[in-house]
């Protein structure tokens, strides 16, 4: 795996998109931006719109990749998702997933955490 985080992120998002397509998800958007926030993948499965954060690591010495989705990052994703739903007049149920990709040498492990977190009341 390359050390460049941009290429690692792009590779991980491509793998995550392929993984979701194989599970019959429709990919609606990739790298959708609102202000300084970005949603890696916006997908649809059945009547649910899914906002997906992709995290990839070359090792898990400091924990699994999904552990990097902090409360602050969750709030950013929730804000961006809210704008996406509003600006596209979406009435579907929504959820937040994390796809965790661990690449050790040539071994790639993909973990899909559905309903990884929920919007909370402030």
CATH code, residues 5-117: 3.40.1350.10
Enter the tokens of residue 30: 């990739």
| CA–CA gap between residue 118 and residue 82 (Å, rounded) | 12
| CA–CA gap between residue 117 and residue 46 (Å, rounded) | 20
Nearest-5° angle of CA 43, CA 49, CA 53?
Answer: 55
Tens digit of pLDDT at every position of the chain (122 positions): 344 455 667 888 999 999 999 999 999 999 999 988 999 999 999 999 999 999 988 877 667 778 888 899 999 999 999 999 999 999 999 999 999 998 888 888 999 999 999 887 55
Query: Do 74 and 28 contact (CB within 8 A), yes or no?
Result: no
Percent composition of the chain: helix, strand, coil (DSSP 3-state, to 5): 30, 40, 25
């Amino acid at each position: 795996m390359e050390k460049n985080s941009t290429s690692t992120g792009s590779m991980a998002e491509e793998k995550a998109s392929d993984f979701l397509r194989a599970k019959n998800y429709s990919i609606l958007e990739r790298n959708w931006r609102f202000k300084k926030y970005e949603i890696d993948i916006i997908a649809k499965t059945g009547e649910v719109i899914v906002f997906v954060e992709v995290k990839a690591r070359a090792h898990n010495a400091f924990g699994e990749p999904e552990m990097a989705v902090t409360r602050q990052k969750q709030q950013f994703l929730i804000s961006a998702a809210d704008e996406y739903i509003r600006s596209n007049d979406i009435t579907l149920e929504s959820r937040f997933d994390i796809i965790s990709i661990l690449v050790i040498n040539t071994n790639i492990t993909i973990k899909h955490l559905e309903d990884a977190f929920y919007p909370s009341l402030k």
